[in-house]
């Protein structure tokens, strides 16, 4: 009936996704406070910053300061995000502290590629070909293909499984040419178009085409269906998810202000742990980090769970 | 694999649930504006008020004024809520305008019954026996058993399927004694303890015990899992759901202020319609009502979808 996994690996992206979208500046010290608190929850992957142009993304002008100053905990893969050669070099300067890996990042929607990157899909493929070669030259492994807008697009509408498969094929041919082996496809619901049925259909087709590859999901809760979509993904055997504590993030592509961003880490952990799927994460500690993040950004975050409290906390009181 | 229904019937409870919990008073005219706007969306069931003690629930002191003054649309069942004989009589005064039906309302958690009603379960059963007889005497049909806290309780912890079944049995024996036939069990996740796995287990046991009864779900999004739980319910064949537009409501039993209440009607409709399950509801109109409700209460509502916009709206723009 279902392929529910025994364990799920969660990649926390709250610091990176959350702190760049806030209108007010978040201090370097507060960013570090959240990163260090996350490290105490049992999370094994934390994306700590973006190495991007500070003129375009002023919220990450302090990326170097954050990475220099946080205390790294052994056993945790701290990651970062970058989009070009300059960003890669900035990440490589922290090679001892950061887990530096590359990805072939493509978009299933030509409309979104044009809007977001001001490129055609073909131009994006060419750029990724160059970037993949550069990563490998610098000794950075590239084992992942990321597909943005894999379930639909605010600018182009519905995205079919065939479009996702064709995008992955483009990524695989870049990888083949560069001589690197892809082990993971990461499918992103960048603008919140996924539904459980769409997850089942797209993942079903991808999985039957490439049964030996792992699939990760990067889900957004733009329209409230992210947890249902995560559950559908788990039922299809997905064992790796990106998420953000408290639901930090938001969506710059939505129709109105105040739209939700990524799936909340703590709701994903609740879903897993209550169904017997291990995450290795202490949910009560994580909820405390969500509340800390809410204090840091200074407004209510989308996570319902940080306001309601965990079931275990109530179980302990009731016992 | 699954018993997904072809159609789902949604019972809108936003006006009743939402307007009593707000700290500021909501004007009678605003309540009516939301009720009349809901009637234009295709929704067929709208709960418009509570006939409760105005000293205890000042937000519904104007129940009579609301029911007198809204323009009823033919084909819509307008309902109300009450807890005692006085409330029943107040509802019956509007028998021409309201769809007046009764329910045997019990709670699967003794802890919650004591906390919420200040009664033992046995005392509650006795009260329901009296109330059922009274409804039938007054010509009000009683065909529904409601089970609150059917998936867990902040005061008692986990609730097993056996506890739900035993509660339903108590309800059925009240019905039998009163000479009325029950056709529907309504299971409420009053404090947000349900998970998809728990929905499957509890509904599976109830359904195999009473295969000829319909099951409705009243879900709360207290911990962010409501949409995933609704999907699990649909997969078990559930065709009737309560919900509130915009996620109006909130939870008085949660650990902190700002906790979410009922599942959002528009997210439930999105889930259904995108999976080919008909609701008869115009989602774009419903989203407009969610935005109206947000204006009326004067603060951001939990619904993500009213801030993001429907997929159809973006499809039309993209086309």
Contacting residues of B for A308, CB less than 8 Å apart: 192, 222-223, 251, 254-256, 259-260
pLDDT at A257 over 70: no
Minimal C-alpha gap between B192 and chain A (Å): 9
Percent of chain B with pLDDT over 70: 97
Domains by residue range for chain B, with CATH: 1-100+244-319 (3.20.20.70), 103-238 (3.20.20.70)
Report the pLDDT value the prediction gives residue A219, as an integer from 0 to 100: 97
| Cβ pair B308:A255 closer than 8 A | yes
A3 interfacial to chain B (CB closer than 8 Å): no
Minimal C-alpha gap between A308 and chain B (Å): 5
Report the pLDDT value the prediction gives residue A244, as an integer from 0 to 100: 97
Which residue among A258, A306, A308 places its CB closest to the CB of B307? Answer: A258
CB environment A50-62: b (16+ within 10 A), e (fewer): bbbeeeeeebbeb
Contacting residues of B for A309, CB less than 8 Å apart: 254-256
Q: How far apart are CA A198 and CA A159, in angstroms?
A: 10
Q: What is the pLDDT of residues B188-229, one digit of tens each?
A: 999 999 999 999 999 999 999 999 999 999 999 999 999 999
Q: What is the pLDDT of residues B70-82, one digit of tens each?
A: 999 999 999 999 9
A29 interfacial to chain B (CB closer than 8 Å): no
Percent of chain B with pLDDT over 90: 86
Minimal C-alpha gap between A98 and chain B (Å): 32
Query: For residue B113, what are the CA distances in angstroms to A38, A236, B80, B122, B164?
Result: 38, 40, 22, 10, 14
- Cα–Cα–Cα angle for A233, B264, A253, nearest 5°? 65
Ranges A76-90, A249-263, B92-106, B242-256: which has the least confidence: A249-263
CB of A226 closer than 8 Å to CB of A219: yes
Max Cα distance, chain B (Å): 61
Which residue among B1, B225, B232 places its CB closest to the CB of A1? Answer: B1
* Mean pLDDT value across residues B148-160: 95
Supply the angle between the helices B283-297 and B28-38 in degrees, to the nearest 10: 170
Query: For residue B232, what are the CA distances in angstroms to A232, B196, B197, B199, B201?
Result: 10, 5, 8, 7, 10
pLDDT band at residue A124, thresholds of 50, 70 and 90?
very high
Q: How far apart are CA B132 and CA B141, in angstroms?
A: 9
Report the pLDDT value the prediction gives residue A1, as an integer from 0 to 100: 46
The ipTM, to two decimals, is: 0.94
Instruction: Sort strands A214-218 and A184-188 into parallel, antiparallel or unpaired.
Output: parallel
Q: How far apart are CA A11 and CA A43, in angstroms?
A: 8
| Cβ pair B197:A276 closer than 8 A | yes
Enzyme catalytic residues of B:
251
Q: What is the pLDDT of residues A57-111, one digit of tens each?
A: 889 999 999 999 999 999 999 999 999 999 999 999 999 999 999 999 999 999 9
Enzyme catalytic residues of A:
251
Q: How far apart are CA B314 and CA B294, in angstroms?
A: 22
pLDDT band at residue A2, thresholds of 50, 70 and 90?
low
pLDDT at A142 over 70: yes
Report the pLDDT value the prediction gives residue B80, as an integer from 0 to 100: 97
Contacting residues of B for A276, CB less than 8 Å apart: 197
Report the pLDDT value the prediction gives residue B250, as an integer from 0 to 100: 75
Percent of chain A with pLDDT over 90: 86
């Amino acid at each position: 009936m279902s392929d529910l996994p025994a364990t799920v690996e969660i990649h926390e992206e709250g610091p990176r996704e959350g702190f760049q979208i806030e209108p007010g500046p978040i201090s370097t010290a507060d960013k570090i406070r959240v990163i260090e608190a996350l490290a105490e929850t049992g999370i094994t992957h934390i994306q700590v910053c973006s190495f991007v142009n500070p003129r375009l993304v002023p919220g990450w002008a302090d990326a170097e300061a954050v990475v220099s100053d946080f205390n790294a905990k052994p056993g945790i893969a701290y990651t970062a995000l970058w989009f070009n050669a300059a960003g890669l070099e900035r990440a490589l300067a922290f090679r001892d502290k950061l887990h530096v890996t590359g990805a072939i990042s493509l978009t299933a929607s030509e409309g979104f590629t044009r809007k977001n990157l001001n490129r055609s899909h073909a131009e994006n493929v060419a750029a990724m070909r160059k970037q993949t070669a550069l990563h490998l030259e610098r000794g950075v492994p590239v084992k992942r293909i990321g597909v943005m807008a894999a379930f639909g697009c605010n600018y182009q509408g519905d995205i079919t499984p065939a479009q996702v498969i064709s995008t992955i094929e483009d990524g695989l041919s870049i990888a083949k040419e560069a001589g690197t082996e892809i082990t993971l496809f990461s499918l992103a619901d960048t603008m919140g178009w996924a539904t459980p049925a769409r997850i089942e259909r797209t993942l079903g087709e991808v999985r039957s085409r490439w049964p030996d590859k792992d699939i990760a999901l990067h889900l957004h809760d733009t329209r409230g269906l992210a947890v249902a979509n995560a559950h559908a993904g788990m039922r299809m055997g997905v064992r790796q998810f990106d998420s953000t504590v408290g639901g930090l993030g938001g969506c710059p592509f939505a129709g109105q202000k105040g739209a939700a961003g990524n799936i909340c880490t703590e709701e994903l952990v609740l879903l897993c742990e209550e169904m017997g799927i291990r995450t290795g994460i202490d949910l009560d500690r994580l909820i405390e980090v969500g509340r800390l993040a809410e204090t840091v950004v200074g407004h209510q975050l989308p996570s319902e769970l940080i306001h309601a409290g965990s079931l275990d906390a109530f179980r302990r009181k009731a016992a």
